[in-house]
Every structure is written in structure tokens, then in C-alpha cells.
């Protein structure tokens, strides 16, 4: 009995998705209906990447202010909900405390957005370093990983140690490197979207004709 996943099975070949056909279908769809949407997304991604590279402190401040404002608004709504629960004889103490905590945290973040971005960014980098270190140690210690898996585990450990040293010596430099990586990635991603939209548009023109 032939398996449905057997490439020699005609039913499998007919029912299995073809990556090339899927890519052509995606390009055709982009070219027919969402050309300008993809172009705008690409332009916005490139602009975001440029802003991250040109003014990382300003972008960090803007992100911190937005997060702080959101926490303040959410805290006010939580306090209002706690007050409504109190009037209806429901439990409201913990909800009121949470709302006040949200408001205070939001105000602190909005007042010092760059410091918040630095602390949160360094925390994320530390989590990445610890995760890479644990994954690398497990890969090296596991008997089921061999060859390239062992090499990748050693690379994880080495990069985790390097990241930890940089974070200890200069956390601001490590965070700046992360911002640069994100900025370059968004620029490349935006350029890819624009190129894909233009290619799809060109492929869709003969079909429309």
C-alpha cells in the first residue's frame, strides 16, 4: 500500500502543495489586489529602520512614552472598574491596587522613557544570552546530538559568553548593537517587500491584458 506522502503516489503528487505554485500564486495575488498595500508596508519598514539607525534614543523615548501612556490609561480604566465593583458590592481591593500600580508605572516610564528602554532592552539581551547558554549546554551534554548539532551547541555557548561579557562591561553598547541589527533587518525586509510587490505587478500585467 502506497503512502499518501510517497512522491511516487500520483494522489500524493496531486494533493501535495507545490512551493513554486504557492509562490507564484502569492505574487499573482499581490499583483492583482494589494500592490500599493505591500509598497506602503515596505516604505514604512524602511523608514522605521532608518529612524532606528539615525535616532535610536528618540525612538526609544517615543516607545517609552507610548507604553507609559498606555499603562496610565489602562490604570485609570482599572480604577474606574474597581470603583464600579465597589458600588455593586463586589470585590474591588486588588483591582484598585492594580490600577494604581499601572498608573504609577506608566508615569515613571513616561517621565524616563530612555531609561526604561535601556533597562528593558538589557533584560531582553540577558534572557537571550541565558537561553543560548542553556541550549548550547544541553546540546553538548546530550548523547542524541552529534556532528553539526554539537558544533552549533558550542557556537551557542561561545556567543552567550561573549554577549554576557559585553553586557557586563558595556550594556549600552550591547543595546545599541541590538538596535542596529533591528534597524538593518527592517530596512532589508522593507526593500524585499517593495521588490516583491514590483515583481508581482509586472507578472500580473499580462494576465490582466
Number of separate domains in the chain: 1
Q: Is residue 31 part of a domain?
A: no
Distance CA 17, CA 178 (A): 37
**Model pTM above 0.85:** no
- The residue among 120 and 150 whose pLDDT is bigger is 120
Q: Is residue 1 part of a domain?
A: no
Q: Is residue 25 part of a domain?
A: no
Distance CA 44, CA 193 (A): 10
- The residue among 5 and 155 whose pLDDT is bigger is 155
Residue 182 has pLDDT above 70, yes or no: yes
Distance CA 72, CA 66 (A): 10
Tell me, what's the pLDDT at 11? Answer: 44
Q: Is residue 147 part of a domain?
A: yes
Instruction: Give the DSSP per-residue string, 162-185.
Output: HHHHHHHH-HHHHHHHHHHHHHHH
Q: Is residue 84 part of a domain?
A: yes
Q: By residue range, what is the domain housing residue 82? A: 37-208
Q: Where are the alpha helices (DSSP H) in 88-147?
A: 93-111, 113-141
Tell me, what's the pLDDT at 30? Answer: 47
Q: Is residue 27 part of a domain?
A: no
Choice among 9-18, 31-40, 48-57 with the minimum mean pLDDT: 9-18
Q: Is residue 21 part of a domain?
A: no
- The residue among 25 and 107 whose pLDDT is bigger is 107
Tell me, what's the pLDDT at 13? Answer: 46
Mean pLDDT of the 111-139 span: 85
Indicate the SS3 state at residue 204.
helix
Q: Is residue 143 part of a domain?
A: yes
Amino acid at each position: 500500500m502506497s503512502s499518501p506522502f510517497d512522491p511516487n503516489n500520483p494522489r500524493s503528487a496531486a494533493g501535495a502543495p507545490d512551493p513554486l505554485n504557492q509562490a507564484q500564486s502569492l505574487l499573482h495575488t499581490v499583483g492583482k489586489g494589494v500592490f500599493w498595500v505591500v509598497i506602503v508596508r515596505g516604505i514604512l519598514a524602511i523608514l522605521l529602520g532608518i529612524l532606528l539607525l539615525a535616532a535610536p534614543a528618540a525612538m526609544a523615548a517615543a516607545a517609552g512614552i507610548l507604553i507609559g501612556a498606555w499603562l496610565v490609561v489602562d490604570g485609570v480604566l482599572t480604577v474606574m472598574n474597581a470603583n464600579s465593583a465597589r458600588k455593586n458590592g463586589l470585590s474591588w481591593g486588588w483591582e484598585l491596587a492594580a490600577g494604581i500600580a499601572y498608573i504609577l508605572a506608566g508615569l515613571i516610564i513616561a517621565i524616563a522613557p530612555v531609561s526604561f528602554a535601556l533597562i528593558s532592552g538589557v533584560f531582553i539581551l540577558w534572557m537571550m544570552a541565558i537561553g543560548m547558554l542553556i541550549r548550547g549546554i544541553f546540546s553538548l551534554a546530550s548523547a542524541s546530538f552529534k556532528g553539526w548539532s554539537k558544533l552549533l551547541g558550542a557556537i551557542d555557548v561561545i556567543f552567550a559568553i561573549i554577549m554576557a561579557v559585553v553586557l557586563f562591561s558595556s550594556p549600552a553598547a550591547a543595546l545599541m548593537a541590538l538596535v542596529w541589527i533591528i534597524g538593518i533587518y527592517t530596512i532589508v525586509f522593507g526593500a524585499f517587500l517593495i521588490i516583491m510587490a514590483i515583481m508581482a505587478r509586472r507578472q500580473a500585467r499580462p494576465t490582466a491584458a
